[in-house]
Amino acid sequence: MPKPPRKSKPAKQKTTRPPKKRIWNHLHLIALLVAMSFFLTLFIGVLLFAFISLDIPDVNSLAAYKPPVSTVILDDHGDPIDTIYTQNRTVIGLDEMPDLLPRAFIAAEDARFYNHKGLDGWSILRALIHNIIKGERSQGGSTITQQVARSLLLTPEKTYSRKIKEAILAYRIDKVLRKNEILHIYLNQIYLGAGAYGVEAAAQTFFGKHVKELNLAEIALLAGLPQAPSRYSPFNNLKLTKKRQAYVLNRMAEDGYISATAAQKAFKQILLWGPKSQADPKAFAYFIQHVRNYVEQKYGAQLLTSGGLTIHTTMNQALQKAADRAANRGIKAWQKRHKSITEPATPEAALIALDTQSGQVKAVTGGTDFSKTQFNRAIQARRQPGSAFKPLIYAAALLQGFTPASLIVDEPIALRGNFPGKTWKPRNFSNKFYGPTTLRDGIVYSRNIVTIKVLQQIGISRAIQLARHFGITSPLTEDLSLALGSSGISLLELTSAYSIFANKGLFGVPIFITKIIDRHGNIIEENTPERVQVLDSRTAYQITRLLEGVIREGTGKKASGLGIPAAGKTGTTDRNMDAWFIGYTAKLAAGVWMGFDQQVSLGKRETGGIAAAPVWLDFMLAAKKRIPAGDFTIPEGIVLKSMDLMTGVLDSDESDKISVEAFKEENLPLHVGVENEKAIPTNGGNGLE
């Protein structure tokens, strides 16, 4: 049987085929849409993941912007002497900045700052194209808001998760804060190189002026720094700095903030570099250290280093420099006197000066080299003052009815010592005894036996009580060696005590800080002079009159030559280990100490009159130019009488050894005679001049 025929296929109809290019475009568009949908979905998914799983910081904290702020220490004229910080920053308001400064940063960093919502895709695209064409990274894609988020709320690592957080935070910040609030934070927060954070610190670091004083050329330079602070720093590469400055000026002109002519003029302007002129804190290190320690102990280290405090101190820069200079010259003079000794060790010197009326401390030299040792010998050290303590003994005696004319026999004495069967035989520095001696000569010539006998008669407890009223808190030995300055006290304590004589018997705690102001302008501490009458003015003047004689003719003659009325007293301890001189004028008291930290001898003849008094005079001669001159006021109830120095007889015509001394009008000596003497056992101790 034949096979059936195959069905024939129907003939195909002819159709018009589209061009291959059009098909390809359609496929490309479809693929692009699919890809965009995929990436959009992925992006949304990532954002959702970020919101759910990433630890996004709270942006509300930015509303109370409180970054670490520098603490500044000022002298008594309000000039800065030191700045303390973890970040060198001074926060200021937009109203304290030149109008062009925020605009310059906007032009350089974020031209559409006032138009976007924290993120700016167009700026990112523009920066990308510009950098590809130019072959360099001169423009950044991050907005100012993103930079704020990165600086304050994020860690510095460069990861995708951080970039996502940054974008989210920038959007949130723009919702929470106004544009000017964001700009305020940015201009105070941004790091601009050379250790400066924010525009105020940068202005002072680079130009030595406040930001409000900047001109256009300087503003444009600062605005170019955030991109790469070290790379564009004028301290590192001036050529790159100028190139970046030109970019900022051109951007400001393009955005209509300035004219092209102004941009060209600013670019050609000569810039003067250098930090704001201020004192070298190393020169005032001991004073500053004392202030810092006080604030840190009372308010904490964080507030000191990051709290933005303004600390007004009592330090006078001119007097502080004079004190440092005098102390160092005193050491050089000592070295010259001992140049025959092969490689002698060098002693230390300390000096402290304070205003006698206010108690404000004007200078502190705690040693000759702070970099070698930070131990403050003017405040922290407690050394035996020797005869420099004697004025307190004589003040107590005058309160008990003694007068400058009182006679005390200077003679060998033997007193019970520290151990059974041991005796103490004190002596004068000269190893001589002078017989009947006026109280006046006892202090002027620093007679040890006379002082011990005076202390015997008034009682040790009275002398210690007066010392406590004078602000001396150090432990004091309760025996007759107290008369020779056997108890260690600080230079600050003794100098402050002497100021009582100058200030008519008034005492106040020494002041180093007058005022501390917080970052918001609130006064958190204020110290004003509060003087307490601890000695009657007449006794204070009597001691001053006696101590004038010490400088004029006694152990302190090396301190004479100041040219204005001055009073003071020397002090030297056993084996010349400590040399002291404490002196004052009507307005300024200063104390000097010289010695070795190891408590070894300064050398033969190195007494307070030789080693310390010239240092005091050196300082006071410089200080005299800056303090008002004046005589010591004679209080009512004091009469001045000429006195025979040998007999104590008043208004005597029979002696050529006459001195005019101060007497209380109700206590004029009526007759001559040796004061009643009674030896009181003591527990020992030695003393020299």
Q: State whether residue 660 is helix, strand or coil.
A: strand
Q: State residue 680's pLDDT score.
A: 34
Q: Does a structural domain hold residue 629?
A: yes
Instruction: Kindly report the average pLDDT of the chain as a whole number.
Output: 87
- Tell which residue, 501, 489, 508, has the closest CA to residue 361: 508
Higher pLDDT, 401 or 683: 401
The span from the CA of 500 to the CA of 637, in Å, is 19
Q: State residue 53's pLDDT score.
A: 46
Q: State residue 644's pLDDT score.
A: 93
- Tell which residue, 581, 569, 593, 570, has the closest CA to residue 367: 593
Q: Select from 268, 295, 312 the last residue of a domain.
A: 268
Let me know whether 413 and 544 are in one domain. Answer: yes
Q: Which of 218-232, 331-345, 382-396, 447-461 has the lowest mean pLDDT?
A: 331-345
Q: State residue 46's pLDDT score.
A: 58
Mean pLDDT computed over 505-509:
95
Let me know whether 255 and 390 are in one domain. Answer: no
Count of the separate structural domains present in the chain:
2
Q: How confident is the model at residue 684 (pLDDT cuts 50, 70, 90)?
A: very low
Let me know whether 534 and 649 are in one domain. Answer: yes
Using one digit for the tens of pLDDT, what is the confidence trace for 20-30? 555 656 566 66
Pick the catalytic residue: 70, 109, 200, 233?
109
Mean pLDDT computed over 646-651:
91
Let me know whether 258 and 365 are in one domain. Answer: no
Using one digit for the tens of pLDDT, what is the confidence trace for 248-286? 999 999 999 999 999 999 999 999 887 655 556 677 999
The CATH number that applies at residue 654 is 3.40.710.10
Is 109 marked active-site? yes
244 Cβ contact list (under 8 Å, min separation 6):
138, 221, 224, 225, 227, 232
Question: Taking 70 as the threshold, does the pLDDT of residue 136 lie above it?
Answer: no
The CATH number that applies at residue 154 is 1.10.3810.10
Using one digit for the tens of pLDDT, what is the confidence trace for 517-547? 999 999 999 999 989 999 999 999 999 999 9
Q: Does a structural domain hold residue 307?
A: no
**Helix, strand, coil shares, percent, the chain, to 5:** 45, 15, 45
- Tell which residue, 682, 640, 277, 647, has the closest CA to residue 436: 647
Q: State residue 66's pLDDT score.
A: 84
Pairing verdict, β 348-355 and 361-365: antiparallel
Chain centroid to CA 272: 28
The span from the CA of 678 to the CA of 664, in Å, is 26
Q: How confident is the model at residue 11 (pLDDT cuts 50, 70, 90)?
A: very low
Q: State residue 57's pLDDT score.
A: 64
The span from the CA of 54 to the CA of 39, in Å, is 20
Instruction: Please say whether the beta carbons of 116 and 123 come within 8 A.
Output: yes
Residue keyed to tokens 């060998």: 412
Let me know whether 122 and 253 are in one domain. Answer: yes
Q: Does a structural domain hold residue 292?
A: no
DSSP code at position 520: T
Question: Taking 90 as the threshold, does the pLDDT of residue 31 lie above it?
Answer: no
Mean pLDDT computed over 647-653:
87
Let me know whether 530 and 650 are in one domain. Answer: yes
pTM: 0.83
Q: Does a structural domain hold residue 71?
A: no
Q: Does a structural domain hold residue 15?
A: no
Question: Taking 50 as the threshold, does the pLDDT of residue 169 lie above it?
Answer: yes
Q: Does a structural domain hold residue 84?
A: no
Q: Does a structural domain hold residue 295?
A: no
In this structure, which long-range contacts are made by residues 32-36, counting pairs with CB atoms below 8 Å and at least 24 apart in sequence? none
Let me know whether 373 and 253 are in one domain. Answer: no
Mean pLDDT computed over 680-686:
36
What does the chain come to in residues? 689
- Tell which residue, 399, 433, 406, has the closest CA to residue 661: 406
Q: State residue 15's pLDDT score.
A: 46
Q: State residue 6's pLDDT score.
A: 38
Let me know whether 239 and 135 are in one domain. Answer: yes
Using one digit for the tens of pLDDT, what is the confidence trace for 184-220? 999 999 999 999 999 999 999 999 999 999 999 999 9
Question: What are residue 459's phi and psi, to 5 degrees?
Answer: 100, 135
SS (HEC) of 169-229: HHHHHHHHCCHHHHHHHHHHHCECCCCEEHHHHHHHHHHCCCHHHCCHHHHHHHHCCCCCC
Q: State residue 349's pLDDT score.
A: 98
Residue keyed to tokens 């050609």: 268
Pick the catalytic residue: 123, 142, 233, 387?
387
Q: State residue 278's pLDDT score.
A: 56
Q: State residue 272's pLDDT score.
A: 87
Q: Which domain holds residue 115?
A: 90-268
Q: Select from 224, 252, 268 the last residue of a domain.
A: 268
Let me know whether 254 and 360 are in one domain. Answer: no
The span from the CA of 349 to the CA of 375, in Å, is 12
Q: State residue 253's pLDDT score.
A: 97
Q: State residue 176's pLDDT score.
A: 87
Let me know whether 256 and 388 are in one domain. Answer: no
Let me know whether 249 and 377 are in one domain. Answer: no
Q: Select from 228, 243, 268 the last residue of a domain.
A: 268
200 burial class (0-12, 13-18, 19+ CB within 10 angstroms)? Answer: buried
Q: Does a structural domain hold residue 246?
A: yes
Using one digit for the tens of pLDDT, what is the confidence trace for 33-52? 666 656 655 665 555 455 54
Question: What are residue 568's phi and psi, to 5 degrees?
Answer: 180, 175
Instruction: Please say whether the beta carbons of 573 and 324 come within 8 A.
Output: no
Q: State whether residue 583 is helix, strand or coil.
A: strand
